[in-house]
Amino acid sequence: MTDVESFRAELVEFFERELPGQIGELPPATADYWGGRRPELPHPSSQRYCEVMAERGLTAPTWPREYGGGGLDKECAKIVTAELRRLGLPVPLVGFGMSMIGPTLLQFGTDEQKREHLPKIALGEIRWAQGYSEPNAGSDLASLAASARIAGDEITINGQKIWTSYADKADWMFGIFRTDTGGKKQEGITFLLLDMAQPGVEVRPIKLISGASPFCETFFTDARARTRDIIHGVGNGWTVAKALLGHERTMIGDLFGAGGRGRPATAGNLLVEVARDYIGEREPGGRIGDPVLRDRVTQFTMEERCFALTMQRSADAARAGHKPGPESSIFKIYGTELNQRRHELILALRGPQSVGWEGEGFDPRELAQTRDWLRSRGNTIEGGTSEIQLNIIAKHVLALPD
């Protein structure tokens, strides 16, 4: 038996025998667990599942062991993902610690910083928020104004961040702050980490048009941080911030990409079912009654397939050893737009049943989908607007002049 095969065998043994023995009923594949000091439990055993997995380094399989990871190579890490999926088990821990600040610390952090923060991320002890945008620094992020004044080992922070996802549930924040107001605006920015459980930090959720509040405003009034939590040095924060945005775009692309976690593979058929349900058909099992909507369903289904194939082509190229091509830059734009178009099309298919807000006369699926449509309007704004992404393609892929 090769090393890889025996690794898989051991892993399966652990998943199938030890794991249920230690925690009983396992959470379903859809149960996302975000961890943190005040964890929300999508399933009664979510936290215990995360802890047991973390003990074996399986929350962050590729991170080094000394930082709480599994120390696995890519091949073994892929086996972990594949076996989880095969057995219908959830990824043990999700969140911005795993997907954004973790990889960024591995890239830019000192050994001391990695030792302090990475194990707490991998164990699910600390949940992170992202402090980037400000009311006057959205697409023009580098013009941010929230200030960090350094005196000795102490940093004093004042100002405001906005669109901080789930800040009301987070324990620590990674963010960018202005340490110098002279010179080029990118050069006076410092990337640092701070504990949010302190009097100088106030978080207010923002209610969106969907009625949900996934984003917050975060206010800093003489909030404190430590200089040892500055990443990559004072004034070098812009480099770190951009690298982290790369990790973020990858995450969003995965989320919206067809075949990704956010999308059932049979989305096309689902649209046909909705169409049949609300419009009727010429004869049972026959054509959708409205030829224009039938054509729109087809048009959308085709575009979705073309996008899924492009994601696959990118993955196949990566597996063949090619560096991720420029085609990956289109995933954020097109994936989010497809999600919006999909929701718009379902509204069209449901007709008047698509504009209910709450209460009688609308079934729960209709109400949920309407909220999802409203939420989807933000997809092309958050994580870098589509317009900014188009700028990136024009500059870095098409070599058009500034």
Binding site for other proteins (CB under 8 A): 268, 272, 275-276, 281, 285-288, 294-295, 297-299, 301-303, 305-307, 309-310, 312-313, 316-317, 319-320, 322, 327, 330, 333-334, 387, 390-391, 393-395, 397-402
Active site residue 248: yes
**3-state DSSP call for residue 170?**
coil
Q: Which of 51, 125, 134, 248 is catalytic?
A: 248
User: What phi-psi label fits residue 159: left (phi over 0), alpha (psi between -120 and 50 degrees) or beta?
Assistant: left
E-assigned strand segments in 78-200: 128-131, 147-151, 154-165, 172-178, 189-195
User: d(Cα 148, Cα 292) in Å, to the nearest integer?
Assistant: 57
Task: Report whether 228 contacts 113 (CB < 8 A).
Answer: yes
Q: Minimum distance between the CB of residue 85 and other proteins, rounded to whole angstroms? A: 20
Nearer to other proteins, 240 or 333 (CB): 333
Q: Minimum distance between the CB of residue 330 and other proteins, rounded to whole angstroms? A: 5
Nearer to other proteins, 45 or 310 (CB): 310
Closest residue by Cα to residue 324 from 243, 231, 250, 226: 250
One-letter amino acid at 111 equals: D
Nearer to other proteins, 42 or 268 (CB): 268
Q: Retrieve residue 307's tokens.
A: 């996008």
Alpha carbon separation from 308 to 86, 216, 311, 330, 331 (Å, rounded) = 21, 32, 5, 12, 10
Nearer to other proteins, 22 or 298 (CB): 298
Nearer to other proteins, 172 or 300 (CB): 300
Strand partners, 203: 218
User: d(Cα 115, Cα 358) in Å, to the nearest integer?
Assistant: 48
Alpha carbon separation from 79 to 41, 63, 375 (Å, rounded) = 26, 15, 34
Going by C-beta distance under 8 Å and a sequence separation of 6 or more, which residues neighbour residue 363?
none
Burial label for 208, CB within 10 Å (0-12, 13-18, 19+), is: middle
Q: Minimum distance between the CB of residue 354 and other proteins, rounded to whole angstroms? A: 20
Nearer to other proteins, 180 or 281 (CB): 281
Q: Minimum distance between the CB of residue 180 and other proteins, rounded to whole angstroms? A: 29
Nearer to other proteins, 17 or 305 (CB): 305
Q: Compute how many other C-beta atoms are within 10 angstroms of the C-beta atom of residue 321.
A: 6
Task: Report whether 126 contacts 36 (CB < 8 A).
Answer: yes
Q: Minimum distance between the CB of residue 377 and other proteins, rounded to whole angstroms? A: 19
Q: Minimum distance between the CB of residue 295 and other proteins, rounded to whole angstroms? A: 6
User: d(Cα 109, Cα 66) in Å, to the nearest integer?
Assistant: 14
How many helices (H) does the chain have, and how many strands (E)?
Answer: 13, 8
Q: Retrieve residue 284's tokens.
A: 């049972």
Q: Minimum distance between the CB of residue 5 and other proteins, rounded to whole angstroms? A: 24
Q: What is the number of alpha carbons within 13 Å of residue 143 lying toward its C-beta?
A: 6
Q: Minimum distance between the CB of residue 254 and other proteins, rounded to whole angstroms? A: 17
Nearer to other proteins, 28 or 324 (CB): 324
Active site residues: 248
